[in-house]
Amino acid sequence: MTTSTPTMNNKPLIRPKGSWLAIPATLWLLVFFVAPLVIVVAVSFMERGRRGGIVQEWTTENYTYVDDTYKPILERSLYIAGYTTGICLALGYPLAFFISTRKSVRMRQISLFMVILPFWTNFLIRTYAWRVLLGNEGLINTVLLDIGVIGKPLEIIFTERAVTIGMVYGFLPFMVLPIYASVERFDFRLVEAAHDLGANDWSAFWRVVFPLTLPGVVAGCILVFIPAVGAFVTPDLLGGRDGLMIGNLIQRNFRGTGHWPRGAATSIALMGIVAAGLLVYMLVVERSSRTPRRVAAGMEAQNKWVATFSQIRASVMRPIERVTDSISQGISTIQKSLQLSQIWRIRRDMAIRWIGKIGLWLNPIVCYAFLWLPIVILVAFSFNDSRSTNRWGGVTTQWYGNIFNNIVGSEARFSTAEMIESLQSSMIVSLSATAISTILGTMIALSLVRSRFFGKPILNGLLYLPVSIPEITQGISLLLFFNVIFDYLERVWGLHLAFGYATIIAGHVSFNISFVAIVVQARLADMNPRYEEAARDLGANEWRTFWKVTFPLILPGVLAGALLAFTLSLDDFVVTFFTSGVGTTTLTVFVYGLLKLTVTPEINAISTIMILASTLLVGLSLLLQGRSTNR
Amino acid sequence: MKPIAVELQNVIKEFSSGRSDQARAVDDVSLQIYDGEFFALLGPSGCGKTTTLRMIAGFEEATSGDIRINGKSVRYIPPFHRPVNTVFQDYALFPHMTVLQNVMFGLQMENVSKATARERAMEALELVQLPQAAFRKPRQLSGGMQQRVALARALVKKPSVLLLDEPLGALDLKLRKAMQFELKAMQQQLGITFVYVTHDQEEAMTMADRIAVMNKGELLQVGSPETIYEKPTTRFVADFIGETNFVEGSLHSLGTPYGRVLVEGATLDAVLGEVTAEIGDTVTVAIRPEKIGVFGATGAVRLSEGFSLSADEFKANLRKEPNMTLLDGVVNQVFYIGTDTRYQIALGENVEVVARVQNFGQRHDTIYKAGDPICVYWENENARILAH
């Protein structure tokens, strides 16, 4: 049993005065994250100019409009996101359970890797793969027609169902990973204890396993729900008119002859939904289960916030518990009235056990097929010697050749030079954003772990914000922000600035700082402060202690953070889409343009190249991480 | 014959461990545990005692053999339908439930109404003297309190057999001692069969009515603490329980009850017991240190207040006694331990024994020094011949 005493011992006796390290990152987040959000709020109360843009006339009309006109789509977004979350949970929980109960470490790693790998393939490509599969003449319909299961093609593509399938596919790992983490921490001897006290598998699961893995479940639901409700790419590529979601409405209001204030108001509505989701998360999940150290510290300080928080939590949970209690009471009275003899109870419980076992074996098969089939088929069809998306015509590599000869599709708007150029743009953006965010993120992590100053909890919260806000909101907030700033600069100083690399990088850094800081913070928290004390004891000053001892020890964490930042930056579409200007088309924006056009074999080939590239990148990062943890 | 609560018949447990070496965790164990008995399974770690317990509880399935509880085979019965309950090694209290909810859990699984369950759980908590902790979470309790909760949680189900898997292992020494007496008292009061797994021989001796000693999956000896201590049948049991001197020699002659063993020219008579050995075989003579008496080879031997004999006179007296062994030696090392003094005494080239002499009071005790010539003696019934 660990108590709070180790926490006391881990506190460094000498506290480096490093609070200033938080300043650059804080300023960056204030300017490029908080200020844009404030502007979104402000713009949502303004009027639209005659030729687009905004006029500083205050009004609440935008909200009335959103309420009147967009309500059905808001509701649809909510239930599509709800379905997506529910299906992800139903598929993901057993899968996470399967992974974390593998006996050998290697099997566990492999089965987890099999979930993560598809996830590291570019989101656009993964979504596109479903377009190939679900189309009216797509593979699924063709196969089903051929074997005679259906008489006419199923209309899946460009419906809500297609959007849901695409999003479940896209977000399933978000559900699996946190549940995996909490099931892995779960002490399975508690199941034995429950069995010993007379609980069959069903009761043991619902009364012991599930409540104790609930934090992972709720975290997973939130991680799926937030991007799902604010999704823009999936409904855009798979949804058509019937699958329109809030994200599409927001985007439409910001492109072409859009209505920015309405878009801003819609965005605020979206944020409201997300905030409600986060509130549920905070209320349901005990803080102690996530960060026992911090809670111990909070208790020591007799933090009245913790007390208030737990009171609110109790008031929310009590009615829920009352309902679940009465349900289980009801079930037990039914069971009592049935009065099964012991032999029948044993048979029933054995049946439950077998059903559970079969389910636990079927689920991973279904899940892995679901995760891998689209990618496998996409890669296979990139070698298909036929323009058809559903018939196999032999093997060819001509589509790969076409990419480099400016021939893609019938539209012929493709240019190899443009593709190479976009790749260069991507590299410029990702490398710069990674460098800046790694430095700033490491600095703020150091100051947050190693020093104590006023407003530290607020800063911690600020760090988690970019992670928990829909990408599209961040995208349009930056768009509005730069427009307002550029307008102002032009009017006051006559400076003419435009969207370009700088705006994209600013956006990327503001979401990457958080990821780097979180990764480095974790590494720092695990580090024994005695090393630093030893260095100080041996006469090293603060500066030399940092470079000779601290930095080499946290370097693996910094590298992991940098790699994560680079991957996220390279993979980002939404923020880039709203902050890029003429001539700064990145690879993802370029690919999006292609995917919007049509389904052609050449796009399959480009996708395959991108899948290969990201697989290599992930492989490299795992190799690095493996080496750093083995040390 | 007392009614039997748990019976193991030729139970074998093999763990298929990926590789070809199929280690037998439990190797052909048969034993009977009587109703209302405090039964200890004792052995070093990895001896198969916990596996045996887990098979009784139903967490492991025997590879072959049968387990009967209250006369009925439980072969295909899952743990949740067996009339046994377990106190787990690290208690395995449900961390998300309060103490009361933990104790109520087992009753709710029997569909006992909530009010009754609560009442009975409170009674169980009173039995372990923890009603005041009912609404606390397990992690807010000390190890000793958690242990009591685990006990209450198992006892509230009124099992016919209570299985305890090293329940005191995580407690500090003082608390462990106190809990030993408490557990024993509780067992006598409730009359429930306790099957208690431990690697601590002292714990087993203190509490158990009968002890089964296991090693490497095999059951070596079953008996009362006295039998196990005084009449061990194997060298392992003699060594594992308490401290023992082992003197090796060759079997010279067989007799009843004594056999004669040749050790470096000298002869030792010791109880033959059930050892199957032939004349000429190498055997071991075991003798407990506290059974060995010592006196200085020169000077006087004080027998009581104001009455002493010279060493030679005392020797002559001892030689007259039948079934008494008397040997000369030299003190190698002396350790003063407080309650007694420990002498390591060389009896021959390669023969050394340890004698523990109780300290009565400074006025009475003679403490010998290293190098002193010394005589040792013991009654032959306290020496036992064990198979090598």
Q: How far apart are CA A56 and CA A46, in angstroms?
A: 6
Residue pairs between chains A and B whose CB atoms are closer than 8 Å: 79
Question: If you measure CA to CA, which chain B residue comes closest to A210?
Answer: B96
8 Å CB contact of B77 and A346: yes
Amino acid at A151: G
Assess if residue A580 is contained within a domain: no
Amino acid at B265: G
Question: If you measure CA to CA, which chain A residue comes closest to B58?
Answer: A196
Assess if residue A396 is contained within a domain: no
Task: Give percent above pLDDT 70 in chain A.
Answer: 86
Query: What is the crossing angle of helices B143-155 and B99-109, to 10°?
Result: 20
Assess if residue A415 is contained within a domain: no
User: Mind listing the pLDDT tens digit for each residue in A457-508?
Assistant: 888 888 888 878 899 999 999 999 999 899 889 988 888 888 889 999 999 9
Specify the pLDDT at position A9.
43
The strand pairing partners of B84, in sequence order, are B161
- pLDDT class of A626 with cuts at 50, 70, 90: low
Minimal Cα–Cα distance from B4 to chain A, Å? Answer: 21
Name all contacts of A279-287 with Cβ < 8 Å and 24+ positions apart: A280/A218, A280/A222, A281/A218, A281/A219, A281/A221, A281/A222, A282/A309, A283/A312, A283/A313, A283/A316, A283/A317, A284/A214, A284/A218, A284/A313, A284/A316, A284/A317, A285/A214, A285/A215, A285/A218, A285/A219, A286/A215, A286/A313
pLDDT greater than 70 at residue A523: yes
8 Å CB contact of A189 and B94: no
B154: how many CB neighbours lie within 10 A of its CB?
Answer: 26
B110 contacts in A (CB within 8 Å)? Answer: 198
pLDDT greater than 90 at residue A239: no
Assess if residue A625 is contained within a domain: no
8 Å CB contact of A203 and B109: yes
> Would you tell me which residues 171-200 of chain A have a C-beta closer than 8 angstroms to some C-beta of chain B?
187, 189-190, 192-200
> Would you tell me which residues 308-347 of chain A have a C-beta closer than 8 angstroms to some C-beta of chain B?
329, 332, 335-336, 342, 345-346
Specify the pLDDT at position A335.
66
The strand pairing partners of B262, in sequence order, are B250, B267
Q: Which of A169, A181, A186 is nearest to A115 (CA)?
A: A169
8 Å CB contact of A196 and B154: yes
A255: how many CB neighbours lie within 10 A of its CB?
Answer: 12
Assess if residue A324 is contained within a domain: yes
User: Mind listing the pLDDT tens digit for each residue in A45-61?
Assistant: 998 887 777 888 888 88
DSSP symbol at A209: I
Q: Which helix (H) or strand (E) covers residue B196, if one does? A: strand B193-198
Amino acid at A588: T
User: Mind listing the pLDDT tens digit for each residue in A299-316?
Assistant: 444 444 555 556 666 666
- pLDDT class of A291 with cuts at 50, 70, 90: very low
Assess if residue A601 is contained within a domain: no
Bridge-based pairing of strands B218-223 and B245-253 is: unpaired
Q: Is the dihedral of CA B113, B119, B121, B124 positive or negative?
A: negative
Minimal Cα–Cα distance from A331 to chain B, Å? Answer: 10
Q: How far apart are CA A251 and CA A262, in angstroms?
A: 11
Question: If you measure CA to CA, which chain B residue comes closest to A195?
Answer: B80
User: Mind listing the pLDDT tens digit for each residue in A123-159?
Assistant: 888 888 888 888 887 888 888 888 888 888 888 888 8
Question: If you measure CA to CA, which chain A residue comes closest to B84?
Answer: A196
Specify the pLDDT at position A574.
92
8 Å CB contact of B92 and A193: yes
Amino acid at B175: L
Specify the pLDDT at position B364.
64
8 Å CB contact of A199 and B86: no
Q: Which of A454, A430, A434, A466 is nearest to A32 (CA)?
A: A466
- Tokens 């799902």 identify what position? A228
Minimal Cα–Cα distance from B106 to chain A, Å? Answer: 5
Assess if residue A302 is contained within a domain: yes
Q: How far apart are CA A400 and CA A419, in angstroms?
A: 13
Omega prior to B257 cis, within 30 of 0: yes
Are B56 and B69 in contact, with CB atoms under 8 Å apart?
Answer: yes
Minimal Cα–Cα distance from B223 to chain A, Å? Answer: 29
B194: phi then psi, degrees, rounded to nearest 5: -110, 130
Partner residue opposite A349 with nearest CB, options B78, B94, B143: B78
User: Mind listing the pLDDT tens digit for each residue in A545-598?
Assistant: 888 888 898 888 898 889 889 888 988 999 999 998 877 889 888 888 888 777
Higher pLDDT, A68 or B273: A68
Specify the pLDDT at position A410.
54
Partner residue opposite B109 with nearest CB, options A198, A342, A346: A198
Q: How far apart are CA A106 and CA A408, in angstroms?
A: 42
Specify the pLDDT at position A290.
39
Residue A240 zone, left/alpha/beta (φ > 0; ψ -120 to 50; rest):
left
Q: Which helix (H) or strand (E) covers residue B257, if one does? A: none
Minimal Cα–Cα distance from A218 to chain B, Å? Answer: 16
Specify the pLDDT at position A528.
80
| B31 Cβ neighbours under 8 A, 6+ residues apart | B7, B8, B212, B219, B222
- pLDDT class of A257 with cuts at 50, 70, 90: low
Question: If you measure CA to CA, which chain B residue comes closest to A336?
Answer: B111
The tens place of each residue's pLDDT in chain B, 388 residues long, gives: 689 999 999 999 988 765 545 678 999 999 999 999 999 999 999 899 999 999 999 999 999 999 999 999 998 899 999 999 999 998 999 998 999 999 999 998 888 888 999 999 999 999 999 999 999 999 999 999 999 999 999 999 999 999 999 999 888 888 899 999 999 999 999 999 999 999 999 999 999 999 999 999 999 999 999 999 999 988 999 999 989 999 999 888 888 788 899 888 888 889 887 777 788 888 899 999 999 999 888 888 877 777 888 888 888 888 888 889 999 999 999 998 888 899 999 998 889 999 998 888 766 667 888 889 999 999 999 999 987 6
User: Mind listing the pLDDT tens digit for each residue in A385-414?
Assistant: 887 777 778 888 888 888 887 777 655 567
Q: How many domains does chain A have?
A: 1
pLDDT greater than 90 at residue A319: no
Task: Specify the range with the lowest mean pLDDT, choosing from A259-273, A322-336, A599-613, B239-253.
Answer: A322-336
A194 contacts in B (CB within 8 Å)? Answer: 94, 105
Minimal Cα–Cα distance from A148 to chain B, Å? Answer: 46
Buried b (16+ CB within 10 A) or exposed e, B216-241: ebbbbbbbebeebbbbbbbbbbbebb
Q: How far apart are CA B166 and CA B183, in angstroms?
A: 12
Interface of B with A (CB under 8 A): 57-59, 76-81, 84-86, 88, 90, 92-96, 105-106, 108-111, 114, 139, 143, 146, 153-154, 157
Specify the pLDDT at position A26.
92
Specify the pLDDT at position B145.
93
User: Mind listing the pLDDT tens digit for each residue in A357-387?
Assistant: 999 999 999 999 999 988 898 888 888 888 7
Specify the pLDDT at position A314.
67
Question: Helices (DSSP H) in chain B: which residue ranges?
Answer: 49-57, 99-109, 114-127, 143-155, 173-190, 201-207, 225-230, 235-240, 311-320
The predicted model scores a pTM of 0.82
pLDDT greater than 70 at residue A293: no
- State chain A's mean pLDDT as an integer: 83
- Tokens 């603490």 identify what position? B225
Domain range holding A333?
A: 295-339
pLDDT greater than 70 at residue A286: no
pLDDT greater than 60 at residue A628: no
Q: Which of B108, B149, B171 to mutate to test the interface with A (most CBs of A within 10 A)?
A: B108
| A259 Cβ neighbours under 8 A, 6+ residues apart | A48, A52, A253
Partner residue opposite A197 with nearest CB, options B85, B96, B143: B85
Question: If you measure CA to CA, which chain B residue comes closest to A203?
Answer: B109
A1 has a chain B CB within 8 A of its CB: yes
- pLDDT class of A336 with cuts at 50, 70, 90: low
Domains belonging to chain B, first-starting first, are 4-230 (3.40.50.300), 244-388 (2.40.50.100)
A353 contacts in B (CB within 8 Å)? Answer: 78
Question: If you measure CA to CA, which chain A residue comes closest to B111?
Answer: A332
User: For residue B219, what are its two tokens?
Assistant: 């059951």
Specify the pLDDT at position B122.
95
User: For residue A609, what are its two tokens?
Assistant: 């190249």
Q: How far apart are CA B111 and CA B107, in angstroms?
A: 7
Average pLDDT, integer, range A537-546? 84
Question: If you measure CA to CA, which chain A residue comes closest to B153?
Answer: A197
B111 contacts in A (CB within 8 Å)? Answer: 332, 335-336
Assess if residue A564 is contained within a domain: no
8 Å CB contact of A212 and B92: no
A211 contacts in B (CB within 8 Å)? Answer: 96
- Tell me how far CA of residue A315 lies from CA of A275, A286, A318, A404, in angstroms: 19, 13, 6, 63
pLDDT greater than 60 at residue A98: yes
Specify the pLDDT at position A1.
37
8 Å CB contact of B108 and A332: yes
Computed on alpha carbons and rounded to an integer, the radius of gyration of chain B in Å comes to 26
8 Å CB contact of A342 and B81: yes
